Structure 1
Amino acid sequence: MADQMTVQVITPGGICYEHHANFVLLSTVDGEMGVMPHMIPTIASLRIDELKVRRVDDEEHVDWISVNGGIVEVRNNLVTIVADSAERDRDIDVTRAERAKRRAENELQEAEKQSDIDAVKRAEVALHRALNRLNVSGHK
């Protein structure tokens, strides 16, 4: 029990994930970061990417979570991720994510035609989020 930590993913809707783990892999704005029990206190900004959690109940059990940016705080064997939105692989509606991808691709094309830099950036973020959700859903 001593070599584990609690992982929480919190969104505006509340806690969407909470389990004990012995390893977490996440993507910060500065690169990938692995978190293990007894890590020094850390705070980092997250990129839109997947979160990998190796749970303690089964060495082969890995949970995959789509995280749309946010922050992570590691302190006293508690890994807290605060994100605007997050979804576990098993909860992702693939059809909805594919529609969001197509919509973002169309918006990106229109914004590029009109040379609307702000609209291009918004469409690129929406596309990145949709692709991340589709990637994470493939881990089911």
Structure 2
Amino acid sequence: MAEEEKVLTVNIVTPDGLVYDHHARMLVVEALDGQLGIMANHEPLIAPLKIGEVRVTRVDSTDHENAIAVNGGFLEVSHNVASIVADSAERERNIDLNRAESAKARAEKRIQAAKEKHDTDELQRANIALQRAVNRINVKNHR
């Protein structure tokens, strides 16, 4: 029982289904208010997340860390279960770096075009697309 109390179950769900489900020693997320570190027996918590990297230190080894690119959403922690619900999420091992770099280049072109047209709505959408692409690149390169 004592060993069970040191384990946090982490799962990440998107509209497409379950992306991640493992036991962890620690979870680190990018909340709107800053970075949060979550371990077993954490107080219940709900926090909105920004586009960023989620890092999970697995229980099977202190050197075994998973990185997941999450595009916003929210985190709920309760009874040693940390659940992240996001519009989209991608594990480091599944990220296609060439595709992410192409998305970054497209977003940068969209930003430039939106600035020239003074289209604030398109500029905002393009900036979000750029943040998502950069996040995926950073997670893949594990920065």
Q: State the TM-score bracket (shorter-chain normalisation).
A: over 0.9
Unaligned residue ranges in structure 1 (runs of 5+): none
Secondary structure at the aligned position of 1:74 is classed as: strand
2:86 is aligned, of 76, 83, 87, to: 83
Query: In the aligned structure 1, how far is the partner of 2:62 from the partner of 2:25?
Result: 9
Query: In the aligned structure 2, how far is the partner of 1:100 from the partner of 1:15?
Result: 24
Equivalent position amino acid for 2:9 in 1: T
4+ residue segments displaced more than 2 Å = none
1:126 is aligned, of 119, 125, 129, to: 129
Does the alignment pair 1:72 with 2:67?
no
CA RMSD of aligned residues (A): 1.0
Query: In the aligned structure 1, how far is the partner of 2:127 from the partner of 2:20?
Result: 27
Secondary structure at the aligned position of 2:9 is classed as: strand
Equivalent position amino acid for 1:115 in 2: H
Residue in structure 2 matched with residue 59 of structure 1 by the alignment: 62
> TM-score with structure 2 length normalisation?
0.96
Residue in structure 1 matched with residue 104 of structure 2 by the alignment: 101
Unaligned residue ranges in structure 2 (runs of 5+): none
Equivalent position amino acid for 1:73 in 2: E
Aligned residues: 140
Does the alignment pair 1:12 with 2:25?
no
Query: In the aligned structure 2, how far is the partner of 1:12 from the partner of 1:113?
Result: 35
Secondary structure at the aligned position of 1:39 is classed as: coil
Equivalent position amino acid for 1:74 in 2: V
2:46 is aligned, of 40, 43, 48, to: 43
1:26 is aligned, of 26, 29, 33, to: 29
Once the 2 structures are TM-superposed, how far is the Cα of residue 139 of structure 1 from its aligned partner? 2.4
> TM-score with structure 1 length normalisation?
0.98
Equivalent position amino acid for 1:50 in 2: E
